[in-house]
Structure 1
Amino acid sequence: MKLPANLEQQLVEDIGSFSLDPLAFVLYAFPWGCEGTDLADATGPREWQADTLRSIGERLRKGYQPKEVLMPVLQSIASGHGIGKSALVSMLVAWAMATCPDTKVVITANTEPQLRTKTFPEISKWFRLLICSHWFKVHGMSIHSSMPGHEKTWRADAVTWSETNLEAFAGLHNIGRRILLIFDEASGIIDRVWEVAEGALTDEGTEIVWCAFGNPTQPTGRFFECFNRQRTRWQGRHIDSRTVEGTNKRLFDEWSETYGEDSDFMRVRVRGLFPKSGSMQFIGTEVVREARTREVNALLTDALVMGVDVARYGDDQSVIFFRKGRDARLIPPIILRGVDTMTLAARVADEAQRYGADGVFIDGGGVGAGVVDRCRQMNVRGLVEVQFGGKADRANYDVHAERYRNKRAEMWGTMRAWLKTGAIPDLDDLETDLTGPWYFFDESNQIKLERKEDMKKRGMASPDIGDALALTFAYPVMPTANARGPWRQPARQEAYDPWAALKQQTYDPWAD
């Protein structure tokens, strides 16, 4: 839409007057309350959005006061679901680009799908509503000025990060102009990205606004530090979803009743608080200790399941674990060190045949693939390959149930529930394995377990025995004719009766 020259000049002057006032810009530049638009039922941004915009403007204006230095504005928002983070990101991008020529904007998120399917489509929608939308050209993952010659200097880009490609953040220099850096789903962005970005935001006399948004899924890392060790630098806010207009309060009340008001589920998904320190442990110590001493009786008809965790490194161990219903101590786990894949496969085949296993779940990642292939050649009955990093695919129809990032987290979650009534061997190493892994929520609020590599970095051993037990929960195993394992009853045999044949004959007194 091209405006008459006089109106265009008035628009330029109006927009320019909001250079240091993001809230006033947002109220002016979008069609609040206009019929036929997405904002027909809104009179302005939500209260928390307005407060954030107001805070950014106040700190920018302070940098232009006499004897003051223009310092970077650092804003962090930790929140629950549904509060309108993406909408605020969109407002900030529109304000930054519209009110300062040759502004550089970089938006990143924890994953590329987050940027492509959620964050940037929302930004594009708001730019279509913008009163000066004709000043910009919107593409799939970028926006730039429509003014000739400014396509590369006046733009916003959605950028994915990787540990080996950080150039987009190292090149954030725009002396004398403006830089806006947005971290969406900031809990999942690694520390190295934060460090490189911070080192680049050093231009003197430059308006620098750095905003980090996200659910507080991890009680470690730079996003966590924004509210703790670095809270004097960052303006941090926790937003409870229940305090925000337009959110589903009834659903949040149900969650509170189901999980408990102070549960990590509620803290992360609703209250905008980080998980409690000390509650990062996925399986509680008391639960495991009770399972070590609990007496249970497995049913003869319960399926016998084997889990096989395959060692990947020199100090790791391969483990074969057995479980029959609620009893995981009936057959002691087999722990092997220094065996090659062929030897391990032969041992798995022997044990499966010896005990009549109904299901054999083998970790097929890395070198485990060789064990799986060899066991298939030997026709091991009930063999299933399991990829720890694969999709969590057990059927679950409970809409309030916990959701898992991958297959490993799902198996551990199923095992955690089983431990409340199950029995495990009285082994210190097994207890250490089960209670050692930490857990976090990812950007989609799915539970993910700490990686083995990360456990080793903090001095923990690889939980090989725990993973082997968890593998027995990969999928349900239905009892079969062989489900009694080595304890199955032999087929009943009738006592031998030498007169049986004669007894079956009919006596005829008139026969010759």
Structure 2
Amino acid sequence: MAAAPDPQAELIEFIASFQHDPLGFVLAAFEWGSGELAKFDGPDEWQRGILTELGEKLSAGEISAMEAVQIAVASGHGIGKSALVAWLILWAVSTFEDTKGVVTANTENQLKTKTWAELAKWYRLCITRDWFVFTATALFSCDVEHEKTWRIDMIPWSERNTEAFAGLHNKGKRILLVFDEASSIPDLIWEVSEGALTDEGTEIVWCCFGNPTKNTGRFRECFGKFRHRWSTRQIDSRTVAMTNKAQLAKWVADYGEDSDFVRVRVRGVFPSASSNQLIGSDAIEVAQKRSYKIELFERAPDILGVDVARQGDDSSVIARRKGKIAFPLRQMRIPDTMRVASQVAIAGDACDMGACFVDATGGYGVGVIDALRGMGRDPVEVYFSGKAIDPRYFNKRSEMYFELAKWIESGGQLPDDVELAEELAAITYTFQGDKFRLCDKDDIKAAIGRSPDKADALALTFAFPVASRKRVLPGVSDGGRRRVLDYDPMASI
């Protein structure tokens, strides 16, 4: 007599068939069209697209040869990303024994009240709910022998406690890492989390979701310099079935299609400028694509700006600007001030230098200044905290950067330099009374993980006005003298 079918064994076999089919799992694991899901027939189109892409990537080869699958989604509001996160978690633990994972978000409140609360809902509706225990901080196997090795943990990030992210290893099994509202998760957490990607022969899925609120940081870089590592999508809330179209239309009418408010909250596009960003990323990108012939500025003075390293991780940088052209920067990790001064002297001799501005803040550049003077050069020492020429600015540093911003907007050409672009995009400002004040250098370093040495060097070329060269127009007289005209390097072309 044949043995009676074992429903649990059949369910296990059925669910296991979706190991590399997240969309199939989501469609099978919930009772779409009935009960709480009576009005829904399955995931939205954009959710299906991501689930399908993930399945295709996981199916592309053997686990031993597989690279991590990294997916980043920037979106407007209300598109159902928390639901997708919940489905990914339940698929990951249900279809692969001893899966381990970590879920984090920009704040503990977001993690508890949004991300984890949504998981609680879908866990309750899932046909595999009896296999797992759901708590306020974890989802883990009911099998006591696997509760430590088969689990997803909800962990608020902390820059002072990164062990949970650094220790996410699960060799030969599956790892799931989810960042919700990823724009505001510090770069340090991203960097530490990358340690999980070193496990060989392991299925690794790293998914990051969020509104694109910042133009700096690792989430932005998923769509920029690291885009070759990530599968990226930007979802406009208006294309998603479940969103409140009337509210979205009001936002567009009130703020405008191209406003940063609509870009971030509706279109899923990174802002052209943060609310207090000095130089918009769009303006930087355009400036890096400009290409002038140097002959157009042959009468403009060559100006050098020199930012001197303050500590071991910083670099000394030489910037050269001529009219509307900023040339590729010279970056040096040289602790010897004499050697730095020699490089500055060489750079000055290679062009027809009209001025050389050296950062003397904190005394770091004084040795370079003295050495240059000993070589017969005439550098100008600049103190970032010094008094601005224009009373609208809080200090010299603020004034220099605002002059740099105006130069970019008026047609300045920047070198194609990823680090420079990132540093410039990180510059923000506020008001000190009635004066413009730039954010502190330490704030920029905290945001991008390094000192903005390249941006500072370029800003130094705007420290003080530099007398433009004179030109004589042949055959034009003025009272028996040739007329001498000033060249304006800022004039439009």
Normalising by structure 1, what TM-score?
0.56
CA distance in 1 between counterparts of 2:250 and 2:40 reads: 27
Q: Which sections of structure 2, spanning at least 5 residues, go unmatched? A: 281-388, 406-426, 431-437, 446-450, 457-493
CA distance in 2 between counterparts of 1:96 and 1:64 reads: 17
Output one character per residue of 1:312-345: Cα deviation in whole Å (capped at 9) or x when no partner.
xxxxxxxxxxxxxxxxxxxxxxxxxxxxxxxxxx
Does residue 406 of structure 2 align to residue 438 of structure 1?
Answer: no
Report the counterpart of residue 56 of structure 1 in structure 2: 54
Q: Indicate which of 368, 393, 398 corresponds to 1:429.
A: 393
CA distance in 1 between counterparts of 2:259 and 2:278 reads: 13
Report the counterpart of residue 144 of structure 1 in structure 2: 140
Report the counterpart of residue 268 of structure 2 in structure 1: 272
Report the counterpart of residue 25 of structure 1 in structure 2: 25
CA contact (8 A) 2:215 2:274 kept: no
Amino acid at match of 1:32: W
| Structure 1 residue 279 displacement after superposition | 7.6
Report the counterpart of residue 45 of structure 1 in structure 2: 43
CA distance in 2 between counterparts of 1:64 and 1:75 reads: 20
Q: Indicate which of 181, 184, 188 corresponds to 1:185.
A: 181
Taking a change above 3 Å as real, the CA distance of residues 103 and 439 of structure 1, as seen in their structure-2 partners, is farther
CA distance in 1 between counterparts of 2:59 and 2:439 reads: 43
Amino acid at match of 2:24: A
CA distance in 1 between counterparts of 2:226 and 2:143 reads: 40
Report the counterpart of residue 384 of structure 1 in structure 2: none
CA distance in 2 between counterparts of 1:147 and 1:60 reads: 27
Matches within 5 A, 1:357-506: 427-430=391-394, 432=398, 438=428, 453-455=442-444, 457-458=451-452
| Structure 1 residue 64 displacement after superposition | 2.3
Does residue 97 of structure 2 align to residue 133 of structure 1?
Answer: no
CA distance in 1 between counterparts of 2:68 and 2:92 reads: 14
| Structure 1 residue 439 displacement after superposition | 7.5
CA distance in 2 between counterparts of 1:176 and 1:14 reads: 22
Taking a change above 3 Å as real, the CA distance of residues 278 and 216 of structure 1, as seen in their structure-2 partners, is closer
CA contact (8 A) 2:70 2:229 kept: yes
CA distance in 2 between counterparts of 1:139 and 1:7 reads: 26
| Structure 1 residue 5 displacement after superposition | 6.4
Of structures 1 and 2, the larger Rg is shown by 1
Secondary structure (helix, strand or coil) at the match of 1:76 reads strand
Secondary structure (helix, strand or coil) at the match of 2:47 reads helix
RMSD over equivalenced CA pairs, Å:
2.7
CA contact (8 A) 2:260 2:273 kept: no
Report the counterpart of residue 237 of structure 1 in structure 2: 233
| Structure 1 residue 458 displacement after superposition | 3.9
Q: Indicate which of 139, 146, 156 corresponds to 2:152.
A: 156
CA distance in 2 between counterparts of 1:282 and 1:243 reads: 32
CA distance in 1 between counterparts of 2:279 and 2:205 reads: 41
Secondary structure (helix, strand or coil) at the match of 1:181 reads strand
Amino acid at match of 1:159: I
| Structure 1 residue 438 displacement after superposition | 2.2
Q: Which of the pair is proportionally richer in strand?
A: 2
| Structure 1 residue 108 displacement after superposition | 0.6
Amino acid at match of 1:429: Y
Amino acid at match of 1:97: V
Amino acid at match of 1:43: D
Report the counterpart of residue 218 of structure 1 in structure 2: 214
Taking a change above 3 Å as real, the CA distance of residues 153 and 189 of structure 1, as seen in their structure-2 partners, is same
Secondary structure (helix, strand or coil) at the match of 2:31 reads coil
Q: What is the aligned length?
A: 306
Taking a change above 3 Å as real, the CA distance of residues 195 and 137 of structure 1, as seen in their structure-2 partners, is same
CA distance in 1 between counterparts of 2:217 and 2:279 reads: 22
| Structure 1 residue 202 displacement after superposition | 1.0
Matches within 5 A, 1:193-204: 193-204=189-200
Q: Indicate which of 72, 78, 81 corresponds to 1:82.
A: 78
CA distance in 2 between counterparts of 1:156 and 1:439 reads: 40
Does residue 63 of structure 2 align to residue 73 of structure 1?
Answer: no
Amino acid at match of 2:22: P
Taking a change above 3 Å as real, the CA distance of residues 202 and 50 of structure 1, as seen in their structure-2 partners, is same
Secondary structure (helix, strand or coil) at the match of 1:225 reads helix
Output one character per residue of 1:154-204: Cα deviation in whole Å (capped at 9) or x when no partner.
111111111121000111110111000000110001111111111222111
Report the counterpart of residue 337 of structure 2 in structure 1: none
Report the counterpart of residue 163 of structure 2 in structure 1: 167
Output one character per residue of 1:68-88: Cα deviation in whole Å (capped at 9) or x when no partner.
821100000000000001000
Secondary structure (helix, strand or coil) at the match of 1:209 reads strand
CA contact (8 A) 1:63 1:71 kept: no
Q: Which sections of structure 1, spanning at least 5 residues, go unmatched? A: 285-424, 441-448, 462-512
Amino acid at match of 1:18: F
CA distance in 2 between counterparts of 1:439 and 1:268 reads: 20
CA contact (8 A) 1:107 1:156 kept: yes
CA distance in 2 between counterparts of 1:146 and 1:244 reads: 36
| Structure 1 residue 429 displacement after superposition | 2.1
Amino acid at match of 2:257: E
Report the counterpart of residue 360 of structure 2 in structure 1: none
Output one character per residue of 1:227-270: Cα deviation in whole Å (capped at 9) or x when no partner.
11111110000000000011111111111111110111011011
Taking a change above 3 Å as real, the CA distance of residues 173 and 283 of structure 1, as seen in their structure-2 partners, is closer
